[in-house]
Amino acid sequence: MQDVLVIGGGVIGLSLAYELAGHGVRVTVVDQGAMGQEASWAGAGMLIPGCLAKARSPEARLRAASFELWPEWTAQLREETGIDNGHRLCGGMELLLPPGSKAWEAEVNGWREEGVTVEPLDPAAALQIEPKLTPGLLAAYRLPAMAQIRNPRHLKALIAACGQRKVTLKTGVGVHGFHREGQRIVAADTTDGRLPSGQFVICSGAWSARLLSAAGCASSIAPVRGQVLLLNALPLPFTHVLNVGRRYLVPRPDGRILVGSTEEAVGFEKRNTVAEVAGLLEFALSVVPRLKAATLERTWSGLRPGSPDELPWLGPVPAHNNLFVAAGHFRAGLLLSPITAVVMRQVLLGQATTIPLEPYAAGRSDRGSEPTLQHPTR
């Protein structure tokens, strides 16, 4: 019997398995599909900076703690597997386009209060940094510390590293219920039969609510579709990640540019639509007109695990002493995966957590809460 059964093989589940195995825990990961092929693969890989010493909101603390872990995780995975996940400092720019926003100055001040270096730019200064931006730009600010990774490469590294740490990975295994003895789960009921374990962690992304319901815990985690485009343009017309509100352009060194992303409450319908693809293309051209000569290489979509307050559920599932959840990361699953793995390892092993987990408690009442994530992450 394994010590821990992780249900869900996305970036959250794989990161947790990797972290636990590094502390001598026997782990099995099951996924109803292939490992790392849902929202984790579909994202753009933006790593938004933070400063844990000055972070005040629950979102800022979680983001800052995770951002600080990324260089260490990248180096460790490269050392163990030889796989480069594409982590690099690229900087990011938030752009203000017509008709503008009354919240612009407050947003800049918010970064300063968080202890994150931010450089306000007038249009001339912004165009000096990125000359191919639209001449209709009203203003911009730059976050020099913003970084990025290549999602597929990072997932490949995690899968390889889990294998080297003797994690058992089972694909095509769906979980549809649990067997209990009092407040304790003794086995998961799966398409591969009953799987016993000492502890169980639900890391099933947009599919987590169904399993939480099976455990008697109502959850507002729900799928939110995001559509993404991949363009190809060499030479690259810009090098910074470009954000406009909750949409983005992410340049890769090989000339690829990711354009995203939509937010659509359409249930578990994962496909691209003409209207949204056209809207994303229009957005890209409004930011960098030079992209009209780029090649449209590919489109895809993913289902993010959304929650009303845009914060994940982390920790024990109420009324159970060996069932846990790490889900509901919405647009920030990749960014928050290292800290999620660390704090969940600490919870499972009875250790003090790096940051307080009360704001992310499973079963909390988050309906009607104000969203806390202000910046697009994938």
Tell me what pLDDT residue 100 has.
81
Tell me what pLDDT residue 378 has.
45
Residues in the chain: 378
Q: Where are the beta strands (DSSP E) in the chain?
A: 2-7, 27-31, 46-47, 88-89, 92-96, 119-121, 139-143, 147-148, 168-171, 175-181, 184-190, 193-202, 222-232, 241-244, 247-251, 256-260, 295-306, 313-316, 323-327
Tell me what pLDDT residue 377 has.
53
Tell me what pLDDT residue 70 has.
98
Q: What is the pTM of this model?
A: 0.94
Query: CA separation (Å) from 255 to 41, 150, 244, 283, 371?
Result: 19, 13, 21, 19, 34
Tell me what pLDDT residue 1 has.
67
Please, are residues 249 and 240 in contact by the beta-carbon 8 Å criterion? no
Domains of the chain in sequence order: 2-85+151-221+308-360 (3.50.50.60), 92-145+223-304 (3.30.9.10)
Please, are residues 346 and 32 in contact by the beta-carbon 8 Å criterion? no
Tell me what pLDDT residue 363 has.
85
Q: 303 in helix, strand or coil?
A: strand
pLDDT tens digits for the chain (378 residues)?
679 999 999 999 999 999 999 999 999 999 999 999 888 888 899 999 999 999 999 999 999 999 999 999 999 999 999 999 999 999 999 999 988 887 899 999 999 999 999 999 999 999 999 999 999 999 999 999 999 999 999 999 999 999 999 999 999 999 999 999 988 999 999 999 999 999 999 999 999 999 999 999 999 999 999 999 999 999 999 999 999 999 999 999 999 999 999 999 999 999 999 999 999 999 999 999 999 999 999 999 999 999 989 999 999 999 999 999 999 999 999 999 999 999 999 999 999 999 999 999 998 865 444 444 445 554
Please, are residues 287 and 242 in contact by the beta-carbon 8 Å criterion? yes
